[in-house]
């Protein structure tokens, strides 16, 4: 299957550094993904808290390999892989996936950052990487949807400073100038919608102070030729076995098993200078 994007959407991605694809996954598929995040014991067993600067925290679970669970298969579907390859322009592999579970009344904020601000330190030499954020719940301004800075993928890699023990932020002094010149877009998503964004696109989100949960699944791809030059963790290249688009429904509520997904027991936060 070719990329799900029209030529116009692909152009928008190149110009803006992000694009929203409505209904990337159907209601029945997203229901399976949501239930897997809620019910798979591996997800719960690898749940970590990522503190924010305001005394809150987001619950995350992270894994590096796309296996045979329903969420591993989602990352391997032709529609996802072919779209990532069309945007990156080269063969890709699965780099990382995570559940970001913002619970009602306090699910934590994320500071402005580029994913490549982190992934640079995994030994990826080029920012030819992207993320696909799949909404599991409705995600809007009221419950801390993702915000992106339009066109920020063209600013190059920005220095990041440590703001909490588990969170780095793009240099606030530089951000001030960026925010004065660029538009901030609140990306509101319905369940099954995907927000695709470039590894250098600046993004953040507010705490969830609403009664409505905001869970998302973020699936990230890297160009095979941009494999990590270090082997410090297991984000290095392993072949990605693409599956048909019917694989998610065919799998049903299939959980991870046998350690194939390579869940991580701590989030990867490169050492950075502390923000003053």
Q: How far is it, in rounded angstroms, from Cα 118 to Cα 96? A: 12
Q: How far is it, in rounded angstroms, from Cα 274 to Cα 264? A: 25
CB of 109 to Mn ion, least distance (A): 12
168 binds, among Mn ion, ligand SIN, none (CB under 5 to 8 A by kind): none
Nearer to ligand SIN, 24 or 247 (CB): 24
272 touching ligand SIN, by CB under 6 A: no
CB atoms under 10 Å from CB of 7, counted, come to 8
Q: Which stretch binds Mn ion (CB under 5 A): 92-100, 115-123, 150-158, 194-202?
A: 115-123
CB of 203 to Mn ion, least distance (A): 6
CB of 146 to ligand SIN, least distance (A): 5
146 binds, among Mn ion, ligand SIN, none (CB under 5 to 8 A by kind): ligand SIN
Nearer to ligand SIN, 103 or 245 (CB): 103
205 touching ligand SIN, by CB under 6 A: yes
CB of 196 to Mn ion, least distance (A): 13
H or E stretch at 7: helix 7-16
Q: How far is it, in rounded angstroms, from Cα 175 to Cα 173? A: 5
207 touching ligand SIN, by CB under 6 A: no
User: What is the rounded end-to-end Cα distance, in angstroms, of the chain?
Assistant: 49
Helix spans in 120-274 (H): 172-181, 247-251
122 touching ligand SIN, by CB under 6 A: no
CB atoms under 10 Å from CB of 237, counted, come to 17
H or E stretch at 170: strand 167-170
100 touching ligand SIN, by CB under 6 A: yes
16 touching Mn ion, by CB under 5 A: no
CB of 50 to ligand SIN, least distance (A): 9
Phi, psi of 98 (to 5 degrees): -150, 150
- Contact between 222 and 97 under an 8 Å Cβ cutoff? The reply is no
CB of 72 to Mn ion, least distance (A): 21
Q: How far is it, in rounded angstroms, from Cα 271 to Cα 161? A: 9
Residue ranges binding ligand SIN (CB under 6 A) = 100, 110, 146, 203, 205, 216, 218
Residue ranges binding Mn ion (CB under 5 A) = 115
């Amino acid at each position: 299957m070719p990329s799900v994007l029209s030529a116009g959407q692909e152009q928008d991605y190149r110009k803006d550094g992000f694009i929203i694809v409505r209904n990337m996954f159907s209601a029945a598929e997203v229901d399976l993904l949501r239930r897997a995040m809620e019910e798979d014991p591996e997800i719960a067993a690898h749940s970590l808290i990522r503190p924010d600067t305001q005394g809150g925290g987001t619950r995350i679970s992270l894994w590096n390999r796309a296996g045979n669970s329903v969420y591993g298969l989602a990352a391997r579907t032709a529609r996802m892989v072919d779209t990532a390859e069309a945007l990156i322009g080269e063969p890709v592999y699965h780099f990382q996936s995570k559940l970001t579970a913002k619970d009602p009344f306090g699910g934590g904020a994320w500071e402005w950052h580029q994913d490549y601000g982190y992934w640079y330190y995994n030994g990826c030499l080029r920012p030819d990487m992207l993320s696909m954020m799949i909404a599991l719940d409705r995600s809007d301004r009221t419950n801390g949807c993702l915000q992106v800075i339009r066109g920020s993928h063209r600013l190059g890699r920005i220095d990041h400073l440590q703001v909490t023990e588990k969170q780095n932020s793009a240099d606030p002094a530089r951000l001030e100038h960026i925010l004065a010149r660029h538009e901030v877009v609140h990306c509101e998503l319905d369940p099954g919608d995907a927000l695709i964004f470039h590894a250098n696109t600046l993004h953040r989100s507010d705490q969830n102070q609403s009664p409505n949960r905001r869970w998302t699944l973020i699936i990230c791809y890297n160009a095979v030729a941009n494999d990590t030059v270090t082997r410090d963790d297991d984000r290095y290249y392993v072949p990605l076995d693409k599956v048909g688009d019917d694989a998610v429904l065919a799998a049903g509520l299939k959980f991870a098993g046998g350690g194939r997904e390579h869940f991580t027991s701590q989030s990867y936060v490169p050492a950075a200078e502390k923000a003053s």
